[in-house]
Every structure is written in structure tokens, then in C-alpha cells.
Amino acid sequence: DLAIFLLGANDYMTLHKDNVIMVVEQQIDDIEKIISGGVNNVLVMGIPDLSLTPYGKHSDEKRKLKDESIAHNALLKTNVEELKEKYPQHKICYYETADAFKVIMEAASNIGYDTENPYTHHGYVHVPGAKDPQLDICPQYVFNDLVHPTQEVHHCFAIMLESFIAHHYSTE
């Protein structure tokens, strides 16, 4: 078994929560709930720097999004270390999503991808007759819309995550 937690970004961006402690404590409570239910392997992922999204870059709240991302990840990482001490018989790891995303952003920038703007503003659903372009699974952009990475970027991230999981959770 492997439970993967990647939570928090929507709390700040969509639900406009600004209490980092409450967001992280809820996540830790959820992790403890599944551990008490018998899950032995848990991967807890930090959030990317939300100020690096096109939404964040062009927002009046850019600094707030950056501060929340940093605070969220620092508190989450500390809590994961405490969980590891509390449940030594379980395999609990923290993955620094922000660092992985920085690597992807740098590589994308080096090959000429647009890291500042979204490919489209309409999201993942194309509306016939809309002025936005048809959905492209491989545009030379990091972001498909104002916050979501493209399919290609998701794939790059998945490869990095797969390597981390194989290294930290493999039993062979």
C-alpha cells in the first residue's frame, strides 16, 4: 500500500484560506486517520511555489502566495518528521514538490518554453466558437491555464516522482 497526499494548493488558491497552521494540521489529521486504518506507507508531498503560476505571477497576492507556499511546506515537513518519530514502524516520506517544479521550470525555460503565460485561459475544456485555441497536449508552455501545468509537464513530474517512490519505497 502507498497513500499519497498532495494537498494544500486549492486551500490557498481556490478556497482563499490563509491559515497555514489549520491547513497543515487538517492534512496531518487525515494522515493519522489512514495510518490508524492500517496504511503502512505514506508519501506526503509539499506544494509548488504558487507564486510561480501565471495566476500568481500576475496577481496582487504574489508575495502572499509565495509566503504561504514556503510556510506550508516548512510546517508540513516538520510535521512529517514528527509523524516518522511517532510511527517508526511505518514508512513516511516527504517529497519537496517545489524543488521538483523548479527543476522542470528551469529545463522548460532552457528549451524555450513559455514559463510566464498560460497556453489558454479556458482551462481543460474547449468551448466551440471560443477565441481560445484548441486544446493541445504538447504546447510549448509550462502552464495549460492560469494554474495547471500542461500534460507534458505533468508527465515530467510523474517521472521524477516515480523515481523518488522507487528509491524510497521499493522492497526489491
| Percent of the chain predicted with pLDDT > 70 | 89
The answer to which of 6-10, 34-38, 44-48, 49-53 has the lowest mean pLDDT is 6-10
Q: How many CB atoms lie within 10 A of CB 124?
A: 10
The CATH architecture one would assign to domain 3-169 is: 3-Layer(aba) Sandwich (3.40)
CA 112 – CA 166 distance, rounded (Å) = 31
Of the candidates 121, 69, 116, the one whose C-alpha atom is nearest the C-alpha of residue 97 is 69
Compute the distance between CA of residue 1 and CA of residue 107 in angstroms, rounded to an integer. 33
Reported in sequence order, the residue ranges of the chain that DSSP labels E, i.e. its strands, are 3-6, 41-45, 91-95, 114-118, 141-143
Work out the mean pLDDT of the chain and round it to a whole number. 91
The mean pLDDT value for 157-172 works out to 94
Report residue 17's pLDDT band, with 50, 70 and 90 as the boundaries: confident
- Are 80 and 90 in contact by the 8 Å Cβ rule? The answer is no
Residue 51 has pLDDT above 90, yes or no: yes
Q: How confident is the model at residue 47 (pLDDT cuts 50, 70, 90)?
A: very high
What does the angle CA 7 – CA 22 – CA 20 come to, to the nearest 5 degrees? 70
Alpha-carbon gap, residue 57 to 62, rounded angstroms: 6
Q: Do the beta carbons of residue 119 and residue 142 sit within 8 Å? A: no
> What integer is the mean pLDDT of 19-48?
96
Section 16-45 average pLDDT: 95
Please, what is the Cα angle at 130 between 128 and 132, to 5 degrees?
A: 115
The answer to whether the beta carbons of residues 71 and 20 sit under 8 Å apart is yes
- The mean pLDDT value for 145-155 works out to 91
Q: Which residue has the cell 522507487?
A: 166
HSE toward the beta carbon, residue 129, CA cutoff 13 A: 0
Model confidence over 71-126: pLDDT tens digits? 999 999 999 999 999 999 999 999 999 999 999 999 999 999 999 999 887 665 66
Q: What is the pLDDT of residue 135?
A: 63
Q: pTM of this prediction?
A: 0.88
Check residues 129 and 17 and name the one with the higher pLDDT.
17
pLDDT of 20 over the 90 cut: yes
Cell of 142: 509550462
